A and B are shown apart, each in its own frame.
Chain A
């Protein structure tokens, strides 16, 4: 009798132990499968969301050229089809990487998409579209987080190989792969300090990259040490187009910083660098602004800015010295080139794209994916005003899920 009872007890205990162990094992397999399924669903959502953003112009259609907050979010160029994005809608996105800039004379913070000295793109917070607004407009607030990165496909890097006579090395690559035999068209801009206001002259040329994607440009009549200059390089190969730029200034203690003031009226603020960044030896500087557009044959065509709207001027620093303004004459994308000088030997040049793609600026918009449990990524190739870009969307789930009952 006691033997039977012990037999029963051992058997029941062993059975129950085995039963729960197997439930746990099966349950873990099932839950892992469910999580995989959710990851797959997240990837599908990522692809759909990316297409939704890139193939939809948003509403109002031209919200990128207005000051309003769109009621529907999308980045497509309204007059184009497929994956062609509006350079102005991109310009209104708040950069999540650049350090914001505060300008006391307007009392505003500016989203900073600046790419190195002399290549400024500063958009006031009052004009930009922020991440939370877009989450609301996309209907995913509280459900998903995302980061959208739009980067140029072709990287054109330029550096000074020799200052006098000037030699510039242009390196063209895409995805880390050198772009051999790419056609290079360049616009070489030399700052002139003659007259009351600085000005510039432009020299055009073209070349081919070698098998390493490199080409050396010689400017035998230019002394790079004593001359302020800029170069804009267009590299194209078999349907791909990229832009690179490089500035050399002989004087950078005081310079001008263009700040976007108003998209709708196309007003730009010309600020003194001391008012934005501070610095030593502040001094008044004169400037001369020009707006240029890229033509079909990769030359620059000047679109005149009315003198009355602040094309030229003298700008001073500190309190009681107001900033200058000018009006960009068109909604077509282009580059605002501003030459400045303090004296005939102290000059420089800065540029600002009007439309994100004019200088192939990248932008990162959205949240931070670091530390997220699972992140889905999808990529599309897009064109922004003829420039080849890659759009990458990183998406993560905010609702969270975890394995329960496992080991």
Chain B
């Protein structure tokens, strides 16, 4: 009797095992240890679009040979045991804030559906014909001025702009900054520099509240005539007094004077006037002023009387790191200089008290008393943007520092153009077991 009962129990357990086994379907080895097809698809699309080739191809006519080349490239870049299906969709707005995806073309090395074990990545590409417009606010719209003077004097040499020419730097500055200014003017020679120092415009532009970018590095162009005679300190055999005059003009016209690299106003340059003089490093057309130039400039901007002071005031804090505000500005304006730089001519913070300046728009964190890149705004009028980094100059730092100081807004146009974006979907599946 018990044997019969046990036999019945064994039958029940056997039934339970068979039933459980029929539901317990273990995954195939391929499913247990799958390749990440989604990432493979994404990286394949990214690689094909590395130089914009994919973006260019998907906007071509469907009969264009580039599609065939894309298929060859796709086949060549994927392992032989992978089936693919690349489909390109046109993205069309339907007018009610939504989009309709219309298939344009498919490329595949497999027939039919790739199956449920396939995976895909999608990638949106934009036609190279599309241009995004952004309208920047003009500096000076609110407070007047808005003139950008770029010193591109053919009769002055540069120093510490190693690897660049003043013209190339001037051109880069013009390209980057002119959209932000009402007027951009190249100062082509020292005569024109003398003209604006006297408050006379070149093309009828407002001279007041202008920005002057000195592209010749540690040197500064000096006009012949008044500024060379009045700017000469015969007792010290120095043109430091010219720098004092510059400081006065910066204050008088409420200018922002931009020194793009190194020690500001360390040399004066005029290739004609100094054709037989050299700057102690063998460069003719240039005379050394030394630290006295900057000291005199600061006296001038602070409306102090001129007093020759050859004391070295800059410091060398070494590596400096970008401030959070500067990183924000960097993203806002789309200008990305290195987030760390080497500063060897940083200005000391004590000049703020001595010359009534206020350091604003720091681009790099100060190290102790040393401020490597900031705009020193005088409490009355005028400002000095000093970039105390080592050579060669990174003009992006100058551009970002200036934009951080004025902070013009950018009005970006909303992108609503139709037929300019396409969606590329790459579906992959493993073939075989």
What residues of chain A have their CB less than 8 Å away from a CB belonging to chain B?
A: 7-8, 10-12, 14-15, 18-19, 22, 25-26, 29, 32-33, 36-37, 39-40, 42-43, 47, 51, 82-83, 153-154, 173-177, 179-182, 237-240, 374, 376-383, 386, 388, 390
Give bound CA distance, A379 to B41, whole Å: 10
Query: Which 3 A-B residue pairs are closest in the complex by CB-CB distance?
Result: A174-B76, A11-B2, A239-B53
B73 at the interface (CB under 8 A from A): yes
Evaluate whether A238 and B3 lie within 8 angstroms (CB atoms) in the complex, with A51-B39, A381-B43 already known.
no
Give bound CA distance, A92 to B39, whole Å: 26
Say whether B3 contacts A10, CB under 8 Å: yes
Question: Please, which residues of chain A bring their CB within 8 A of the CB of B79?
Answer: 175, 379
Evaluate whether A381 and B69 lie within 8 angstroms (CB atoms) in the complex, with A173-B76, A240-B77 already known.
no
Contact with A along B35-62 (1 / 0, CB 8 A): 1100110011011111101100100000
Q: Which residue of A lies closest to B28 (CB)?
A: A36
Say whether B77 contacts A388, CB under 8 Å: yes
Contact partner of A238 (CB less than 8 A), chosen from B13, B72, B78, is B72
Give bound CA distance, A255 to B49, whole Å: 42
Interface of B is mostly: helix
Question: Please, which residues of chain A bring their CB within 8 A of the CB of B65?
Answer: 181
Say whether B73 contacts A29, CB under 8 Å: no
9 A-B pairs with CB atoms under 8 Å apart are A39-B29, A175-B76, A177-B75, A181-B68, A237-B72, A377-B35, A381-B46, A386-B50, A388-B77
Question: Please, which residues of chain A bring their CB within 8 A of the CB of B14?
Answer: 22
Question: Please, which residues of chain A bring their CB within 8 A of the CB of B5?
Answer: 11
Say whether A83 contacts B10, CB under 8 Å: no
Say whether A11 contacts B33, CB under 8 Å: no
Say whether B69 contacts A238, CB under 8 Å: yes
Give bound CA distance, A386 to B111, whole Å: 33
Could you list 10 further interchain pairs (A-B, Cβ under 8 angstroms) beyond the known A174-B77, A175-B75? A10-B3, A18-B10, A29-B24, A83-B43, A153-B76, A175-B78, A177-B75, A179-B76, A240-B77, A381-B40
Say whether B33 contacts A40, CB under 8 Å: yes
Question: Please, which residues of chain B bring their CB within 8 A of the CB of A374?
Answer: 33
Interface of A is mostly: mixed
Say whether B9 contacts A238, CB under 8 Å: no
Question: Please, which residues of chain B bring their CB within 8 A of the CB of A26?
Answer: 17, 20
Evaluate whether A378 and B46 lie within 8 angstroms (CB atoms) in the complex, with A174-B77, A175-B80 already known.
no
Say whether B2 contacts A82, CB under 8 Å: no
Q: Which residue of A lies closest to B78 (CB)?
A: A175
Looking at B14, B39, B73, B80, the one whose CB has the most chain A CB atoms below 10 A away is: B73
Question: Please, which residues of chain B bring their CB within 8 A of the CB of A19?
Answer: 13
B7 at the interface (CB under 8 A from A): yes
Contact partner of B76 (CB less than 8 A), chosen from A33, A42, A154, is A154
Contact with A along B229-264 (1 / 0, CB 8 A): 000000000000000000000000000000000000
Say whether B48 contacts A238, CB under 8 Å: yes
Question: Please, which residues of chain B bring their CB within 8 A of the CB of A240?
Answer: 47-48, 73, 76-77
Say whether A378 contacts B35, CB under 8 Å: yes
Min CB distance, B191 to chain A, in Å? 40
Give bound CA distance, A47 to B5, whole Å: 54
B143 at the interface (CB under 8 A from A): no
Question: Please, which residues of chain A bring their CB within 8 A of the CB of B95?
Answer: none
Evaluate whether A383 and B47 lie within 8 angstroms (CB atoms) in the complex, with A26-B17, A239-B53 already known.
yes
B27 at the interface (CB under 8 A from A): yes
Min CB distance, A112 to chain B, in Å? 28
Contact with A along B1-37 (1 / 0, CB 8 A): 1110111011001100100110010110101111110
Min CB distance, B33 to chain A, in Å? 4
Question: Please, which residues of chain A bring their CB within 8 A of the CB of B17?
Answer: 22, 25-26
